[in-house]
């Protein structure tokens, strides 16, 4: 299913039948439709209805995810990721009402959809194309990190002719490398000091503690990161950063209280394994504890979604890359 995503003030949500009048009004505009290759001009109202139905079928099948771009409840445009048959790559497309151009809204929506596609859907790459006279679209793709890979031509129904298009691509590896660029750059040496061969800045190590909470059926509690946070939409083991002057166990007890309303004091916190992985802007060192008893009922206190998951099903939940090696270990423990 197509989730609801947040991008600043924008809410990206699946299209609803009631969106047809707004979609028709906004697309039936020459400055919009001339850049969309498959649509006729004028654009009939029935096509808006048929298109919305088709986006809902695509979403149910998981073959494409179409989002209405909305702000304060008003529909401003749409953005979509259409997946390849093997679901390993996706193609990005979008349009925005001309009254909203020039504010960076397409880039904002695009960043969120691209991040979601490459992290939660784990696509290997996202492609896009734009008519060569669509300078604004090429600029958006550039800001999203796409690079031009070639040219081609396509029939534009609205223009009644074939038009040259540019082809673009954003591989997952390029996207991750960009988000992994260190944020802090060391200051340049003073002028009188002989420069030494610069070593790449090392990412700082972040100590995060996490728990595999197990229920009586041997299921594990996973929490989905809420919209607005880094890596939103990914499932993880409840936990968080170890603060200065805390032991990992104290941090785990505090985090379980803050995040889930659970009391783990006096509970057996069994060290199970740990993660030591590059995790983007930092190096993640994450001890994982197995916990079978606590007081209270897990309650999402920070906007997360909670689910009890059988070990055999863990692979179906999109998790941050550093967590992936933990899955077979937990399956072995609980299998
Ligand atoms: N709790 C937890 N964090 C994980 C896991 N895997 C993983 O990469 N992490 C990363 O470790 C960090 C956990 O720190 P955190 O929970 O205190 O911080 P946060 O990003 O949620 O936000 P915050 O700084 O607003 O508290 C996050 O960057 C998170 O993405 C996991 O399985 N559990």
pLDDT tens column, 104-134: 999 999 999 999 999 999 999 999 999 999 9
pLDDT score of 188? 47
Q: Is the ipTM of this complex over 0.90?
A: yes
Mutate to test the pocket of ligand 1, among 207, 208, 227, 326 (most ligand atoms within 8 A of CB): 208
Question: What is the rounded average pLDDT of the residues 227-234?
Answer: 93
| Protein residue with its CA nearest to atom 18 in ligand 1 | 240
| Protein residue with its CA nearest to atom 5 in ligand 1 | 236
Which run of H or E residues covers position 24? Answer: helix 20-27
CA 78/CA 228 separation, integer angstroms: 20
Provide the pLDDT confidence category of residue 186 given band limits of 50, 70 and 90.
very low
Residue 288 alpha carbon, nearest atom of ligand 1: 32
- For the stretch 37-49, pLDDT in tens is 999 999 999 999 9
For the chain, the average pLDDT equals 93
pLDDT score of 182? 47
Please list the residues that pair with 208 across neighbouring strands.
241
Mutate to test the pocket of ligand 1, among 176, 204, 320, 321 (most ligand atoms within 8 A of CB): 320
Provide the pLDDT confidence category of residue 201 given band limits of 50, 70 and 90.
low
202 vs 187, residue with greater confidence: 202
Residue 329 CA, ligand 1 centroid: distance in Å: 20
Determine which of 76-85, 115-124, 176-185, 195-204 has the lowest per-residue pLDDT on average: 176-185
CA distances from 139 to 69, 109, 130, 145 (A): 19, 14, 10, 10
Neighbours of 228 (CB within 10 A): 11
Residue 279 CA, ligand 1 centroid: distance in Å: 10
pLDDT score of 176? 86
**In terms of C-beta density within 10 A (0-12 exposed, 13-18 middle, 19 or more buried), how is residue 189 classed?**
exposed
Q: Which domains does the chain have, with CATH numbers?
A: 5-179 (3.40.630.30), 205-334 (3.90.79.10)
Residue 171 CA, ligand 1 centroid: distance in Å: 25
Residue 208 CA, ligand 1 centroid: distance in Å: 7
Buried b (16+ CB within 10 A) or exposed e, 126-159: bbbbbbeebeebbebbeebbbeeeeeeeeebebe
pLDDT score of 198? 62
Residue 49 CA, ligand 1 centroid: distance in Å: 41
- For the stretch 278-298, pLDDT in tens is 888 899 999 999 999 999 999
Question: What is the rounded average pLDDT of the residues 63-82?
Answer: 98
| Protein residue with its CA nearest to atom 16 in ligand 1 | 240
Residue 320 CA, ligand 1 centroid: distance in Å: 9
Provide the pLDDT confidence category of residue 185 given band limits of 50, 70 and 90.
very low
């Amino acid at each position: 299913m197509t989730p609801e995503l947040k991008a600043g003030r924008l809410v990206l949500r699946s299209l609803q039948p009631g969106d047809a009048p707004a979609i028709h009004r906004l697309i039936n505009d020459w400055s919009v439709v001339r850049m969309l290759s498959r649509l006729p001009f004028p654009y009939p109202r029935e096509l808006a209805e048929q298109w919305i139905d088709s986006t809902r079928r695509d979403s149910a099948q998981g073959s494409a995810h179409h989002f209405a771009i909305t702000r304060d409840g008003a529909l401003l445009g749409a953005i979509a990721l259409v997946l390849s048959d093997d679901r390993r790559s996706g193609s990005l497309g979008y349009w925005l009402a001309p009254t909203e151009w020039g504010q960076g809204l397409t880039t904002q929506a695009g960043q969120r959809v691209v991040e979601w596609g490459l992290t939660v859907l784990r696509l290997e790459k996202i492609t896009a194309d734009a008519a060569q006279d669509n300078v604004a679209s090429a600029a958006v793709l550039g800001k999203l990190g796409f690079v031009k890979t070639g040219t081609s031509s396509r029939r534009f129904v609205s223009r009644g002719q074939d038009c040259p298009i540019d082809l673009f691509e954003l591989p997952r590896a390029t996207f991750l490398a960009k988000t992994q660029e260190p944020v802090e750059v060391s200051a340049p040496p003073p002028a009188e000091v002989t420069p030494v061969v610069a070593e790449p800045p090392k990412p700082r190590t972040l100590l995060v503690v996490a728990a595999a909470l197990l229920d009586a059926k041997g299921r594990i509690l996973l929490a989905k990161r809420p919209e607005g946070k880094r890596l939103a939409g990914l499932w993880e083991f409840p936990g968080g950063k170890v603060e200065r002057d805390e032991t990992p166990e104290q941090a785990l007890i505090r985090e379980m209280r803050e995040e889930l309303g659970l009391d783990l004091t006096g509970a057996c916190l069994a060290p199970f394994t740990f993660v030591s992985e590059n995790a983007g802007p930092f190096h993640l060192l994450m001890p994982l504890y197995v916990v079978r008893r606590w007081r209270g009922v897990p309650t999402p206190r920070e906007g997360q979604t909670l689910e009890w998951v059988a070990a055999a099903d863990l692979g179906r939940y999109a998790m941050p890359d550093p967590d992936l090696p933990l899955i077979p270990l937990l399956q072995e423990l609980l299998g």
